Amino acid sequence: MTLPVSTVLLEPFAEEPTVSVLRLYGDIGLEAITRISALVDDLVEKKRFHLLVDLSQVNFLSSPVVGALMGCRERLMRRSGSIALLAPKPELAEKLNLMGVNLVFPYYSNKNAFLRHFRWEYQSESRSLTLEVPAYAGYVPAIRRLIAGLLLSKGYTPREAFQLESIVDELSNNAIEHGLPIDKKFSISFSFDKSSIHLAVANGCKTLSSEAQELIREKFRNPCIIPGSMRGRGIALVKKIASDMTFRVDAQRVQVSITKMREES
């Protein structure tokens, strides 16, 4: 298909039905503004509030068109929508950056990068990680830092990442030191989305008597910090940092799970 020098098309986004793609081709000047605005009006009327502007085939984008896109952004965001730019050529990206456009519109180099962000941001998609770890304290620092790093990479604050690092550390050390892991390993299940974090640390153990199970439950139920004592503060710390802590103690398995809600930004 041969397209005119300047073309503006609106298409559905096959991979994500809630997103529309505004595909621009060639040199986009003043004359495109009316069409872009009309297409966005139509989207708003149809209650489709997420727009990806594909710039991969654009050679030139005039400043008034950038202004028009800013207006579109305003209208979509007022309705809890979004607008993002896809794959501008390096020369165009440089020009847009000089205009400060990168401070207003997120850019994505490809569709997959956009989809990952979109689904995280607007569809509460979660990330998850499951690990089986040798029951040895030396493995814990790398794991807790990995989990903190994942949180930081998705916009959680350094304080939140630090607190999760503490929780991973304390629950892992608890499993190693007190869980008597029979197979010399324990498991960590970690998942998080935009609003909350879930973590479960579990270990198999030698068969526990009913009394032994109840003692462990009591430790989780009422962890106490004994003044002057050097140890035994880990579970109390976790309980204070986490939004919620639950536990399950069976004859041959102990699992502690926590939820931590994201702080209001």
Partner 1 sequence: MNDKQMLLTVEFVDGVPMARILRFSGDLDSTNAEHVSEVVLSLLGEGVLHIVADFTKLRYVNSTGLGALLFANKKMKEAGGSMKIAGVNENVFEIIEIIGANTLLEIHRTMDDAIATLK
Q: Which stretch binds partner 1 (CB under 8 A): 31-39, 44-52, 224-232, 255-263?
A: 224-232
Helix (H/G/I), strand (E/B), else coil: 239:
helix
CB of 144 to partner 1, least distance (A): 9
CB of 164 to partner 1, least distance (A): 11
Q: Which stretch binds partner 1 (CB under 8 A): 69-77, 105-113, 115-123, 234-242?
A: 234-242
Which tokens in the block code for residue 99? 């205009």
| One residue of 70, 99, 137, 215 binding partner 1 per CB under 8 A | 137
Task: Pick the closest to residue 35 from 48, 47, 24 (CA basis).
Answer: 24
CB of 260 to partner 1, least distance (A): 14
Q: How many CA atoms lie within 13 A of 75 on its CB side?
A: 20
Residues in Cβ contact with 249 at an 8 Å cutoff, skipping those fewer than 6 apart: 208, 213, 216, 217, 220
Q: Which residue has the tokens 């989305």?
A: 193
> By CB under 8 A, is residue 134 in contact with partner 1?
no
Q: At what angle do helices 63-78 and 33-45 cross, to 10 degrees?
A: 10
CB of 180 to partner 1, least distance (A): 17
Terminal alpha carbon distance of the chain? 48
Residue with Cβ nearer partner 1 (64 or 141) = 141
Residue with Cβ nearer partner 1 (181 or 234) = 234
| One residue of 233, 253, 257, 262 binding partner 1 per CB under 8 A | 233
Which ranges constitute the DSSP H helices of the chain? 33-45, 63-78, 90-98, 111-122, 140-153, 158-178, 210-221, 234-241
Q: Which stretch binds partner 1 (CB under 8 A): 46-54, 181-189, 212-220, 228-236?
A: 228-236
Residue with Cβ nearer partner 1 (164 or 202) = 164
State the amino acid at position 118 in one-letter form: F
CB of 165 to partner 1, least distance (A): 7
- DSSP label at 153? H
CB of 225 to partner 1, least distance (A): 6
Residue with Cβ nearer partner 1 (171 or 208) = 171
> By CB under 8 A, is residue 173 in contact with partner 1?
yes
Helix (H/G/I), strand (E/B), else coil: 36:
helix
> By CB under 8 A, is residue 234 in contact with partner 1?
yes
> By CB under 8 A, is residue 231 in contact with partner 1?
yes
Asked whether 108 and 114 are in contact (CB, 8 A), the reply is: yes
Spatial distance between the Cα atoms of 245 and 243, rounded to a whole number of angstroms: 7
Tell me which H or E stretch contains 223.
none
Residue with Cβ nearer partner 1 (80 or 229) = 229
Contacting positions for partner 1 (CB under 8 A): 137-138, 140-142, 145, 158-159, 162-163, 165-166, 169-170, 173, 225, 227-231, 233-234, 236-237, 240-241
